[in-house]
Amino acid sequence: MKAENKTPEKKPSVVIVDDQLDNIRVLGSILTSLNLDIRPFTDPQEGLASIFAAPPDLILLDILMPHMDGYEVCRRIKASKEVQDIPVIFLTAAFTRLEDMVRGFEVGAVDYITKPVDARIVTVRVTTHINLSLAKKTIAEENSFKNKLISLLAHDLRNPLGGVAGLLQLIRTEPEQWTREELFEAVEQMYLSIAGVQNLLENLMGWADLVRAGIMVSSEPVNLIEVIEEHIQALQVQAEQKGVSLEIRSSDNFEVTTDRHIIGTIVRNLTANAVKFAPPGEGEVVIILAHGRHSFTVTVQDNGIGMSEEEQADLFSHSARARRGTAGEKGSGFGLLVCLEMTRLLGGTIDVKSEQNAGSEFIVRIPV
């Protein structure tokens, strides 16, 4: 599976419902030039069924039709939560009375196109409403993702910080009750919790930079082994505690020209995942650096639980759910999104190979 430049955009879709086949033909020929996916229907019931089955981005609706008029079709569309936000443009005869046009707006139409249609008017109105519809959809998706993110952050910050605060309060109020060993254990627990919070915040800040498109990509000669060692320092402790070996393999001292912070963040996140899913006590995580003809690759391998094909397909999506690690470790599911966006910033790609119960391999390829 490869996650690289964005997958080709799906064509916006338009449903046309008009009982006159000639009208559909004329509209179809105009809209074909706009690169739209057009679904024509002469039967309103069939049109409605198609709208509910696969919601389009825009609906062009004739008013006067036998059995069910356009107002009724529109009312049914607007009564359904799933499709009520799809813009409806009424196709109306030139002699339509003002009160009928108002009635159309009252049942939820956003605009009118008068028949016989003019190609320029159809093009402008359809393009405008498609663009508005797509922009609205994008905003709704982003909003829903941000809500999910805020709720996830609140949860992922509250637990570790609440635990650290509770422990500190306990130590502060009754220090005499704590043995030296208990204190060491408490410090270790607090360190791991704070390291987790720090990792989450670093990802969040990285993500915010990417979303604001304000991140500056620098290009400087770096020793990649040193950069990676620096970024995975905190992970070494976690790996050691879990009984997971963590090793960097490279044929030379690996000098490359890239952005130190971005590549470090990508490798840190992939390594954190590898440690999370490696088997406790017998886990092996290897980071392999290799030079290609026009690129360099960083491969992060683990011998962990791997992923099913469905999990791999959903891996880089906003809706992906974070899985628990093999020692019950939690995650936000956010690190991989950051990895993908950061890899794109460097003009690179991420390949994933995985097999359930056999381990995973993430290959980051960066052009030089």
Partner 1 sequence: MDDEAIIGFMIEKTLTHADTAVHVTTTIAEAQQAVEEWNPHCILIDLNLGTPEDGIIFSRWVRTHKHSTEPLLVALTAYPASEEWMPNFDKYLRKPFTADKLQTVISELL
Q: What CA–CA distance (Å, rounded) separates 170 from 178?
A: 9
**Closer residue to partner 1 in complex, CB, 332/349:** 332
- Kindly report the CA angle at 313 between 311 and 317, in degrees rounded to 5? 95
Taking residue 175's Cβ as centre, other Cβ atoms within 10 Å add up to: 9
CB of 174 to partner 1, least distance (A): 6
HEC-encoded secondary structure of 98-122 = HHHHHHHHHCCCCEEEEECCCHHHH
CB of 185 to partner 1, least distance (A): 7
CB of 164 to partner 1, least distance (A): 7
Taking residue 67's Cβ as centre, other Cβ atoms within 10 Å add up to: 9
CB of 149 to partner 1, least distance (A): 16
DSSP string, 176-196: GG--HHHHHHHHHHHHHHHHH
Q: Where along the sequence are the contacts to partner 1 (CB under 8 A)?
A: 154-155, 158-167, 169-170, 173-174, 177-178, 182, 185-186, 189-190, 192-193, 324, 328, 330
**Closer residue to partner 1 in complex, CB, 96/193:** 193
CB of 222 to partner 1, least distance (A): 35
CB of 177 to partner 1, least distance (A): 5
**Closer residue to partner 1 in complex, CB, 139/165:** 165
- Kindly report the CA angle at 269 between 353 and 218, in degrees rounded to 5? 105
**Closer residue to partner 1 in complex, CB, 173/357:** 173
**Closer residue to partner 1 in complex, CB, 170/358:** 170
Taking residue 325's Cβ as centre, other Cβ atoms within 10 Å add up to: 20
Q: Which residues of 328-352 are buried (b: 16+ CB within 10 A; e: fewer)?
A: ebbbbbbbbbbbbbbbbbbebbbeb
CB of 248 to partner 1, least distance (A): 27
**Closer residue to partner 1 in complex, CB, 84/144:** 144
**Closer residue to partner 1 in complex, CB, 141/182:** 182
Q: How far is CA 252 from CA 282, 289, 290, 312, 361, in A?
A: 28, 9, 9, 32, 22
| 182-188: long-range pairs with CB below 8 Å, 24+ | none
